[in-house]
Amino acid sequence: MTHARPTILQNSLTNLERATFLIDGEVPAEISDKLRQPVERIELSIDPQLSDGRRHGYCAFVVRHSTALGPSKGGIRMTPSVSLDDVSGLAMEMTWKCALIGVPFGGGKSGIVADSEQLNPLDKETLIRDFTRHAIRHIGPQTYVPAPDMGTNERDMGYLKDTLSSALGQATTQGCYVTGKPVILGGIPGRREATGRGVAACVVEALKRLGRKVEGATAIVQGFGNVGSVAAKALAEYGVRLIGASDLHGAVYHEKGLQVAALEDHVNHTGTVKGFPSGMAIDPAELLTVPCDILAPSAAASQITAENAAKISAGLVAEGANSPTTPEADDILASRGITVIPDILCNAGGVYVSYLEFTQETQQEQMSEQEVNDRLQRRMTEKFNEVWRLSEERKISLRDAAMYLGVKTVCTALIARGRLS
């Protein structure tokens, strides 16, 4: 019998329930109800005129889950299936991620229901600009600061910034309205690579803690997009061998290893890993179950489920994506001794470097890529080890430890604001 995959929101709520159970007695009991609800959930209908001369209707969402620690922070997802519930779940995850990694932001997220791969560049730009005009009241350095997510990129963030500054009648925006934008517009070097680099930093720490060798370890990456391809490249620098990679169109595998730079070139030319000459085609679902040391799901949510968790043959799962493992699958992986580095820790490098971009713009400075990478590496290592120590002390999973730290920090801020007594 096949089960429906749980939604991102269901996964997030279950993880929150587990965290509030662990925190029980340390913060007021009403906390769970309070943290389930976002502070703002917006639905937008937009109808830009595209290059065929017609108006096309799109739905879009903005959710601000929390402002306890600061303005809401989170990317804009553009996929055909993104829903208001998905965006709500992702915004909630951002709240814990920002708190855990130690940046003064709350959680937020946006969604645009559109297939970015089917839009020509001009139409995508038009859609991003139209979304920005409609969402303008909800975006700002003190309210919600967007960034790229699945289906959007640095270029789109440049259009967003331009649309906002034009609307204000100014050459630029005062303060940081968006992160992950081009460096020439106030972006920060290394932001595009930050999430993938952070994933690699966590993997290396985890392998050390588990007493396993880094050099020569094998990795499989699901979703060879921004996060997945950079994680593969950063891991290769540590001597890790990429043996499989997939995307929406297909998957490739080679037990001796795939050349990451050549695979990246192939994707840049063809738009997919499919057809990579030195790899063998493999069913993308089967690729997840191939034996390897590191499995990095770096694409969609709910990919490791109760259906396939018993077949996962990796020693370590590093969640580059948000919510790729369902809570049921988490329990199965734990019972099989497979360590999972949870998303709110593993892929937090992006929002950490977004924070550096935010401070850089406020102070009108420019950090070097080396400085950004050094600070990212230090923060990821420090937070990984904090989570690891707590998980050992309390004999809980890394996800429960990370959630405990994230939720507790948000509660402490709410108490300090007098919103929780």
Q: How far is the CB of 235 from ligand NAD (least distance, A)?
A: 15
Interface with ligand NAD (CB under 6 A), residue from 27, 91, 99, 150? 150
Q: Does 7 bind ligand NAD (CB under 6 A)?
A: no
In the bound state, the residue with its beta carbon closest to ligand NAD is 225
Closest CA to 315 of 338, 334, 296, 333: 338
Q: How far is the CB of 248 from ligand NAD (least distance, A)?
A: 3
Q: How many CA atoms lie within 13 A of 402 on its CB side?
A: 27
Please enumerate in sequence order all residues whose Cβ is within 8 A of that of 357, keeping only pairs 6 or more positions apart, or say none: 176, 179, 180, 181, 186, 187, 188, 191
Q: Does 373 bind ligand NAD (CB under 6 A)?
A: no
Mapping DSSP to helix (H, G, I), strand (E, B) and coil, where does residue 288 land?
coil
User: Contact 318/203 with Cβ under 8 angstroms?
Assistant: yes
Q: Does 285 bind ligand NAD (CB under 6 A)?
A: no
Phi-psi region of 4 (alpha: psi -120 to 50; beta: other; left: phi over 0): beta
Q: H or E stretch including 107?
A: strand 106-113
Q: Does 298 bind ligand NAD (CB under 6 A)?
A: yes
Q: Give the gyration radius of the chain's Cα atoms.
A: 20
Q: Does 321 bind ligand NAD (CB under 6 A)?
A: yes
Tokens of 418: 């007098």
Interface with ligand NAD (CB under 6 A), residue from 16, 227, 329, 356? 227
Q: Which residues are catalytic?
A: 109
Interface with ligand NAD (CB under 6 A), residue from 246, 339, 391, 409? 246
Rank residues 204 and 345 by Cβ distance to ligand NAD and give the closer one: 345
Q: How far is the CB of 25 from ligand NAD (least distance, A)?
A: 32
> Which CA distances in Å does 316 have to 39, 96, 109, 227?
35, 22, 28, 17
Q: Does 326 bind ligand NAD (CB under 6 A)?
A: no
Interface with ligand NAD (CB under 6 A), residue from 223, 244, 279, 327? 223
129 C-beta neighbours (distance < 10 Å), count: 19
Q: Does 344 bind ligand NAD (CB under 6 A)?
A: no
Interface with ligand NAD (CB under 6 A), residue from 7, 88, 226, 326? 226
Residues binding ligand NAD: what is the number (CB under 6 A)? 24
User: Contact 360/352 with Cβ under 8 angstroms?
Assistant: no
Q: Does 400 bind ligand NAD (CB under 6 A)?
A: no
Please enumerate in sequence order all residues whose Cβ is within 8 A of that of 113, keeping only pairs 6 or more positions apart, or say none: 58, 59, 60, 79, 80, 81, 82, 83
User: Contact 336/306 with Cβ under 8 angstroms?
Assistant: no
Q: Does 67 bind ligand NAD (CB under 6 A)?
A: no
Please enumerate in sequence order all residues whose Cβ is within 8 A of that of 335, keeping only pairs 6 or more positions apart, or say none: none
Tokens of 34: 């309070």
Q: Does 350 bind ligand NAD (CB under 6 A)?
A: yes
Q: Does 322 bind ligand NAD (CB under 6 A)?
A: yes
Tell me the sheet residues that pair with 109: 63
Q: Does 111 bind ligand NAD (CB under 6 A)?
A: no
Stretch that binds ligand NAD, among 33-41, 241-249, 357-365, 396-404 (CB under 6 A): 241-249
Stretch that binds ligand NAD, among 47-55, 145-153, 201-209, 393-401 (CB under 6 A): 145-153
382 C-beta neighbours (distance < 10 Å), count: 13
Q: How far is the CB of 327 from ligand NAD (least distance, A)?
A: 17
Q: Does 347 bind ligand NAD (CB under 6 A)?
A: yes
By CB under 6 A, what part of segment 182-211 binds ligand NAD?
195
Q: Does 151 bind ligand NAD (CB under 6 A)?
A: yes
Strand 58-64 to strand 106-113: parallel, antiparallel, or no bridges (unpaired)?
Answer: antiparallel
Q: How far is the CB of 296 from ligand NAD (least distance, A)?
A: 10
- Residue 83's identity, in one-letter code, is S
Contacts with ligand NAD by CB under 6 A lie at 148-151, 195, 222-228, 246-248, 284, 298-300, 320-322, 347, 350
